[in-house]
Amino acid sequence: MKHGGDLTEAIARHGGAPASWLDLSTGINPWPWPIPQHLPESVWQRLPSHAETRALLDAARKTYGVPDGADIAAGSGTQALIQLLPYLAVPGPVAIVEPTYSEHAAAWRNAGHPVVSIENLDVCPDGAVHVVVVNPNNPDGRVPDRAALTRIAAQLKGRGGWLVVDEAFADVDPAISAVALCPDWPVVILRSFGKFYGLAGLRLGFAIGAPDLIERIAGALGPWPCSGPALLIGTAALGDQPWADHMRGKLEQRAHELDQVLAKAGFTIAGGTPLFRLARHPHAPKRHAALARRHIWCRRFDWADDLLRFGLPPDDAGLDRLAVALRD
Amino acid sequence: MKHGGDLTEAIARHGGAPASWLDLSTGINPWPWPIPQHLPESVWQRLPSHAETRALLDAARKTYGVPDGADIAAGSGTQALIQLLPYLAVPGPVAIVEPTYSEHAAAWRNAGHPVVSIENLDVCPDGAVHVVVVNPNNPDGRVPDRAALTRIAAQLKGRGGWLVVDEAFADVDPAISAVALCPDWPVVILRSFGKFYGLAGLRLGFAIGAPDLIERIAGALGPWPCSGPALLIGTAALGDQPWADHMRGKLEQRAHELDQVLAKAGFTIAGGTPLFRLARHPHAPKRHAALARRHIWCRRFDWADDLLRFGLPPDDAGLDRLAVALRD
C-alpha cells in the first residue's frame, strides 16, 4: 500500500462500510476548521478572480511568515506542486533525505531526474543538483538543522539547483519553518493547507521562494489552479489565528494520549509530529493485520518491518476502540 | 484584458459592486447544474479515494463517448491540463489554429516550444511537431473538418507529436467531438466540465487519448489532482443525461434571443456556439466602452477591432438590460 490516505484497498481486503472503519492511516487533523454551512453560489459558478487569489495569498503570507523578498503561489494541493517542480528544475540528480513521503522520489524520477536516497543532509553527495527534505519529516518527525539547510542551499545555488523543503506538517510549530532562507537562497518551501486544517479534500497547497522562482512556478501553474471554494475557505481558515493556536494545544494533548495507549500495548514511540505518531513494535506487521481485521487502518512501511504510523483518533471512542483492539 | 473571466479589472476601471455587473465576458453556462444543498463533510476532509476517482471517470467516459481503446484522466480544470501537456510533449514547434483561446500559445511558449500561428489545418507547416485546434473554436465557433483532423493526426504520428483538440465547448453538440480518433492516433482531447455545467469554480477538466498517452498525463498529474467536491459533483452532474438534454435546448433558445438583440443593435453575428456569440460591429470598441460604463462586461479582442463576444444573459432582465444599453 503506497498511500495511507486511501481506504479503498483496505475495504476490498477486509470488507466493511467506509464509515465503519477507524482510519488512522493519514496525518490529517481529525478536527477540521469549520466550513460555513452555506457557501455563496458564485464560488462554484464563476472562475476565481484575481482579487480572491490575492486575498488567499495575503492570508497565507501572514500565517506562514513569508518574509519580504520572498513570494508565494497557490496550487491545487501540495501534491500538484510536488509533481510540477521536477519539470521546472534544471536537469540533474536530486538527493532526497529518506525514508520520507514517497511521492517526492516518484515525481522527480517520473520527470527524468536521477534520484539518490540519502540518510541526512550531512551525507549529501557533491553530484546532487537538487535536494529534497521534509521538515518535520514524515514519518519520523526529524527537523533538519538550520545550519545544514543553509549550507546545502549555498552549495545548490552554485550548481543552479533547488533545495525543496516540504513543510506539510510544520503548522504544529511555526518555529520549525525554514521560510527565512527564501530571500537569499534557491529554496522552495512547500506548505500544505489540508493537513493541519483537516480539509485534505479541498486540495490547497503553497510554494514559497524567491520572487523569480515563484514567478516560474506560478507561470507553469497558469490561471485558476485552485477552486473557488478552496480560495474562500483557505482565506478564512488561514486568517483564523485563534483557531490555529487552540488547535496546536489540542493536537499535542491527543498525540500524548495516543502515545500512552500505544506504550501500554508494547509500542515504543520512535518519532512523529502532533498529527501522527511513529511507533515501534517487534511484531508490527502482525499488529497491523490484527487491527485491519477489526477495521482499524494504520500505516505500515515496506522499508521497516518494526514500525507503524498512527494518525490521531477523532474522539475518545476512537481512542478507546484502538486501546481495546491493541489489547486483544 | 487577457481573460474575459475576471471582473476585477473592469471594476477597478468603472467601479460598482461585483453583483451590480452583468458579466457577459465568459462562455460559462449561466444556469448551473444544481449542486446539492449539503455535501457530505467527508468530501472536504478526506483525500479523494480511488473508488471516487473511478466513479468520476466512468461517468465522464459515458458522457464524452470515450471509445474502447482510449482512456481518460481528470485534472483540476482544463487549464491545468493545457499547462501540463507542453512539458510532457517531445520538443519541437507547435502550430496553433488561431485566433483562439490564448492560453494554449502561452503554455507551449512558457514550456519552451516555438509556436506557429496558422489560419486553418490546411496550411499546417511540415515543421510542426504538435498541433492545437479548438473544436468548436473560441470565439468563432469553427468546427474543423474530420478528414483534416485525421490527416494531421497521421502526419504528427510520424513526427512523434500530438494533435491536441480542445473541446471545451463541445457539450452543446456531442456529434462535434473528435474522440473517435483517440484509439488510432496521437490525439489528446480536452473536455471542460465547468463551462457547460456552469460550475467553473469547481475546477474540473479531462484529457482523453490512447492508453499510453493518458498514463503519462495521469502520472504527471499525480494522485488527488481533483478536489473531493469536484469528484462528487462531477460524477453526479455528468451522469445527469436529462439535465444535459434539456440544457442544450435552453442554451440554443437563449443564444437565438441574444442574436436578435444584437442584430437589432446593428451587430452581425460572425460565429459562436450556444454558450457565446461572436458579433461584428464597425464601432465595436466604442460599444464595448459604452456597455462597460453601464456595468455590462463583454469580451473584446486585441486582434480585431470590429468584433465583440457576448456570453448568455442569465435571465430576461439581463437580456433586456443589454438591449436597453445597446439602444443608447
A56 at B interface, C-beta within 8 A: no
The amino acid at residue B297 is W
Q: For A141-184, write each residue's pLDDT tens digit.
A: 999 999 999 999 999 999 999 999 999 999 999 999 999 999 99
Q: For B56-91, write each residue's pLDDT tens digit.
A: 999 999 999 999 999 999 999 999 999 999 999 999
Q: Between chains, do A46 and B5 touch, taking CB under 8 Å as contact?
A: yes
Among B264, B201, B224, residue whose Cα is nearest residue B75: B224
Q: For A220-245, write each residue's pLDDT tens digit.
A: 999 999 999 999 999 999 999 999 99
| Mean pLDDT in residue range A101-130 | 97
Q: Between chains, do A83 and B230 touch, taking CB under 8 Å as contact?
A: no
Q: Between chains, do B201 and A76 touch, taking CB under 8 Å as contact?
A: no
Q: Which of residues 23-52 of B touch A (CB under 8 A)?
A: 26, 28, 32, 35, 41-51
* Cross-strand partners of B118: B97
B148 at A interface, C-beta within 8 A: no
C-alpha cell at B190: 480536452
Roughly what angle, to the nearest 10 degrees, separates helices B78-88 and B103-110?
Answer: 40
| Best A224, A235, A275, A297 residue to mutate vs chain B (most B CBs within 10 Å) | A224
B178 at A interface, C-beta within 8 A: no
Q: Quickly state the pLDDT bin for B18 (edges 50, 70, 90).
A: confident
Q: Quickly state the pLDDT bin for B177 (edges 50, 70, 90).
A: very high
Q: Report the gap between the CA of B39 and the closest CA in chain A (Å).
A: 10
Using CA atoms, how far apart are residues A296 and A290, in angstroms rounded to an integer? 9
Among A100, A37, A290, residue whose Cα is nearest residue B44: A37
Among B191, B173, B3, B29, residue whose Cα is nearest residue B101: B3
Distances, alpha carbon B280 to alpha carbons B95, B270, B318, in Å? 27, 6, 21
| Mean pLDDT in residue range B130-154 | 97
Using CA atoms, how far apart are residues A98 and A121, in angstroms rounded to an integer? 10
A234 at B interface, C-beta within 8 A: no
Position A1 scores a pLDDT of 36
Position A328 scores a pLDDT of 77
Enumerate the residues of chain A whose CB falls inside 8 A of the CB of residue B219.
110
Q: Between chains, do B201 and A47 touch, taking CB under 8 Å as contact?
A: yes
Among B37, B64, B81, residue whose Cα is nearest residue B216: B81
Kindly report the average pLDDT of chain A as a whole number.
96
- ipTM of model over 0.90: yes
Kindly report the average pLDDT of chain B as a whole number.
96
B16 at A interface, C-beta within 8 A: no
| Best A52, A56, A76 residue to mutate vs chain B (most B CBs within 10 Å) | A76
> Chain B residue with minimal CA distance to A197?
B45
Q: Between chains, do B222 and A107 touch, taking CB under 8 Å as contact?
A: yes
C-alpha cell at B88: 510532457
Q: Between chains, do A199 and B44 touch, taking CB under 8 Å as contact?
A: yes
Q: For A256-298, write each residue's pLDDT tens digit.
A: 999 999 999 999 999 999 999 999 999 999 999 999 999 999 9
Using CA atoms, how far apart are residues B213 and B219, in angstroms rounded to an integer? 10
Q: Quickly state the pLDDT bin for A193 (edges 50, 70, 90).
A: very high
- Assess whether pLDDT exceeds 70 at residue B22: yes
Say if CB A292 and CB A13 are below 8 A apart. Answer: yes
Q: Between chains, do A50 and B77 touch, taking CB under 8 Å as contact?
A: no
| Mean pLDDT in residue range B253-265 | 98
Q: Which of residues 263-322 of A touch B (CB under 8 A)?
A: none
Position B141 scores a pLDDT of 98
